[in-house]
Structure 1
Amino acid sequence: MSKSISNIDWMNQLENAIRQFVKEKLELIMKEEIQTFLEMEQEGTSNRRNGYYHRNLDTQYGRIEGLSVPRDRKGEFQTQLFTPYQRHTGWLEEAIIKMYQSGMSTREIG
C-alpha cells in the first residue's frame, strides 16, 4: 500500500516539474518576442516594456497558473503563442473530435 502512495506522490512531483518547465519556457519565449518586437517593429518610438499580466492557461500538460505575459506601454504587443483571450490550447477540442470520430457517443464523451 505504501508503494502506491509513493508512486502517486512521484507522479504528482513529475507532473508539477513538467508544468513548471513548460511555464518557464513559455515565459522565456514571450520575453524574447517582446524584446524583438520593441527593437525591430517599434524602433524610433517611445514604446517600451510595461510589466506583466498574469493568466492561467490549460495545456495538455495540465493547468499552468500565473503565467507572466509581458506587455508594452502602448498595448500593441501580442504574443504569437496564444490569442488575446485564449485560456486553453487546442488539444481538448482535438481530443473530443477524435473520440466522436472513433464512435463514442456525446454522452460518453461528456
Structure 2
Amino acid sequence: MGQGILFNIYSLSRECKKDLLREFIRENNLTTARELQLALKDLFAGTLQEMLEAELEDYLGYSKYDYKNKTTKNSRNGSSPKKVISDFGEVDIAIPRDRQGEFEPKAVKKYENDISGIEDKVLGMYAKGMTTRDISAHLEEIYGVDVSPTLISRITDKITPIAQEWQNRPLDSIYPIIFLDAIHYK
C-alpha cells in the first residue's frame, strides 16, 4: 500500500498531500531521517521496477498472464538482475526480458548503470579541485555508492579534451565591456 499512496500525489491538493505523506510515514513506522531515506529508496526501486514492467507490457501488447489478447509470437522471458546507482544510492532491480531479445527499456537503458547524474557531480567536484580519492570518499559518505578512484579518473578524462579545447580557443582582439552602476533612493 505504501507505494500506491504516493503514485498520484502530484494531482492532489496541499492538504491531501500532507495527509497522504503522514499516512505513508505512519504505515512504514518511520521515526528517523535515515528510515525515511531507506523507505524512499525502496519506493523508488519499486516504482522503477513497475515502469520497466509496464514498458515490456506495452512493447509486447498484452499484460502478464493475459494470453487471450496475445497477438505476437514474442513473450516474456524472465528478468536479469541489475544494480543501478541512483540519487538514493545503489538500487537492485530486475530488468524484464523478452524471448526474442528485442526489448530495449527506456527507463534504464541497456548497459546503463548510473541513473543519478553522478558524472555531473564528479565533474563539479573535480572542477573545484578535489582529488579523485576525495571524490570517491565523498560519494561513499553521501550517497553510499562505492566508486573507485579509477572510475572517477575515467569520468574526468572525458572532459579534459573539451576543457583544453576551450582553453586554447582563439580569442578576439577586442571585447566590448559595459559597466553599469546605479543608486536607488527612496
TM (normalized to structure 1)? Answer: 0.75
1:59 aligns with: 86
2:150 aligns with: none
2:54 aligns with: 32
Residue deviations 1:20-75 (CA, integer Å, cap 9, x gap): 010111011111101110119xx85310111111111111111102x021110011
The one-letter amino acid of 2:110's match is P
Does structure 1 conserve the Cα–Cα contact (< 8 Å) formed by 2:85 and 2:116? no
Considering fraction of residues, name the structure with more strand. Answer: 1
The one-letter amino acid of 1:78's match is E
> 1:78: Cα distance to partner?
1.3
The one-letter amino acid of 1:16's match is L
2:73 aligns with: 46
- The structure showing larger relative contact order (alpha-carbon pairs under 8 Å, at least 6 residues apart) is 1
Aligned residues: 98
> 1:12: Cα distance to partner?
2.7
> 1:90: Cα distance to partner?
4.8
> 1:99: Cα distance to partner?
2.5
The one-letter amino acid of 1:25's match is T
The range that moved more, 83-92 or 21-30, is 83-92
Give, in whole Å, the separation in 2 of the partners of 1:55 and 1:105: 30
SS at match of 1:28: helix
> Aligned-residue CA RMSD in angstroms?
2.2
- For structure 1, the 5+ residue unaligned runs are 1-8
Find out whether 1:82 has 2:119 as its counterpart.
Answer: no
Q: Which has the larger radius of gyration?
A: 2
